[in-house]
């Protein structure tokens, strides 16, 4: 039993050395392993937080750019609508101008044609009067030259009517 007793006995110096070894080992692990791991984890945490901050900033920038794009797009649409409206108004005004000018020109041509027709009618009437007067004088001269019997008188009138009919 002594052997069994030697196994279970407590040696105070061994116990003190083991506790000192444990404390030294703990201090070494803490100094050489735990602190660097903590520093690496802290650095990693800072990098992740910086990435999140950068991502939030990029998202904010993207949102601002989207809003600016939408504002510019709306402005461009309004400007395009205004340009189309202005061009339509100008085209309508120009169309009305052209129609008015064409109507005025047509009215001027019509009144000019009417005036020319009236002038030609007066001229023709004057020529017809002159022609009738000349024939009447010619007949009167013949009548005066001849003595008129009823048959000659009838022939002269028929001749006059046939000449006037040919002239018109």
What is the pLDDT at residue 143?
A: 65
What is the pLDDT at residue 71?
A: 94
What is the pLDDT at residue 82?
A: 93
Residue 37 has pLDDT above 90, yes or no: no
What is the pLDDT at residue 126?
A: 81
pLDDT band at 17 (very low <50, low <70, confident <90, very high): very high
The pTM of the whole model exceeds 0.85: no
DSSP 24: H
pLDDT tens-digit series, residues 150-165? 777 777 777 877 776 6
pLDDT tens-digit series, residues 109-121? 999 999 999 998 8
What is the spatial distance between Cα 89 and Cα 101, in angstroms, rounded to a whole number? Answer: 18
């Amino acid at each position: 039993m002594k052997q069994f007793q030697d196994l279970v006995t407590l040696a105070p110096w061994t116990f003190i050395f083991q506790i000192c070894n444990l404390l030294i080992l703990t201090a070494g692990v803490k100094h050489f392993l735990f602190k660097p791991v903590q520093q690496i984890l802290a650095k990693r945490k800072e990098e992740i937080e910086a990435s999140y901050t950068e991502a939030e900033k990029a998202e904010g920038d993207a949102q601002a750019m989207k809003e600016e794009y939408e504002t510019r797009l709306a402005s461009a649409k309004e400007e395009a609508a205004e340009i189309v409206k202005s061009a339509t108004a100008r085209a309508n005004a120009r169309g009305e101008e052209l129609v008015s000018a064409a109507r005025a020109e047509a009215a001027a041509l019509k009144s000019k044609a009417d005036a020319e027709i009236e002038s030609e009618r007066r001229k023709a009437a004057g020529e017809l009067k002159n022609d009738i007067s000349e024939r009447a004088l010619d007949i009167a001269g013949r009548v005066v030259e001849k003595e008129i019997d009823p048959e000659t008188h009838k022939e002269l009138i028929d001749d006059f009517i046939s000449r006037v009919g040919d002239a018109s």
